Amino acid sequence: MSSPIILAVDTTEVNVAADWVRVTQEHIGVIKLGLEFYLARGAEGVRTVRASAPNLRLFLDLKLHDIPNTVAGAVRSVADIQPDFLTVHASGGPKMIESAAKALPDGSITAVTLLTSLSASDTALMGISGNSQEIVIKWAKLAVEAGANAIVTSPQEVAALRSTLPKEIVLITPGVRPAGADSGDQARVATPAEALSWGADYVVIGRPITSGATLEEIAKNAEVILCSL
């Protein structure tokens, strides 16, 4: 496998995104473009960014969540972009995930379990029973049985999933920050090295890389983080 770093390209500016990807491509393995970027720039914007580093994989983080037929149609509408990973919410249920997987036979439907911004008190207020690990394991198992072949989970639950799910299931962890970095809006965090040691295949990193003042600093940030893994 190439670099385990998924670069979170958190901007709506196509040229900025393309520059970030271009200067970091030797140190990252996957480009992550999210809902905000897709709604602002569409499929053409995604293609432009991808063209700046065509050897990298694409993580299209749309977090689809609707009735099965609607999600299947949404997946078909982006299939020509050829995302390697396309996210749906595990909480959408097995039928929704199965429909998504059938609509993207050449990519990995990636189920997002419990958002890393949610704390235990948040899930309790929402009426979701169980602690975060119990919730994540249950949702991940159901998602994999329905056809998901990648799971997004916080670093705190990744070890339990690694020992529970089939070894071929790809585990992706957001909520990672280099030691000393601000955790931002994430509630369940770890360092990238910790997440990988616990069984993650990929770690999602954004601001610790892209907050550099210049493109040279951004490239250096990516290099330093990769060397620390």
Q: What is the pLDDT of residues 200-209, one digit of tens each?
A: 999 999 999 9
Q: What's the pTM?
A: 0.91
Model pLDDT, residue 211: 95
Confidence of residue 185 (pLDDT cuts 50, 70, 90): very low
> pLDDT digits over 90-144, tens only?
999 999 999 999 999 999 999 999 887 888 888 888 988 888 889 999 999 999 9
5 burial via Cβ count (<10 Å: 0-12, 13-18, 19+)? buried
The ranges assigned to domains in the chain are: 5-227
Q: Is pLDDT above 50 for 39?
A: yes
Q: Report the distance separating Cα 86 and Cα 79, nearest Å.
A: 9
Residues 6+ apart with CB under 8 A from 156: 132, 133, 188, 190
At residue 164, the pLDDT reads: 96
Determine the average pLDDT of the residues in 158-167: 96
pLDDT band at residue 1, thresholds of 50, 70 and 90? low
**93: which residues sit within 8 A by CB, 6+ positions away?**
142, 146
Options 3.40.50.1370, 3.20.20.210, 3.20.20.70, 3.40.630.180; CATH for 5-227 is 3.20.20.70
Active-site residues, by number, are 63
For residue 11, what pLDDT is reported?
97
Chain mean pLDDT for the chain: 93
- pLDDT computed for residue 61 by the predictor: 98
Query: What's the whole-number mean pLDDT along residues 162-167?
Result: 96
Range of lowest pLDDT (1-10, 36-45, 119-128, 166-175): 119-128
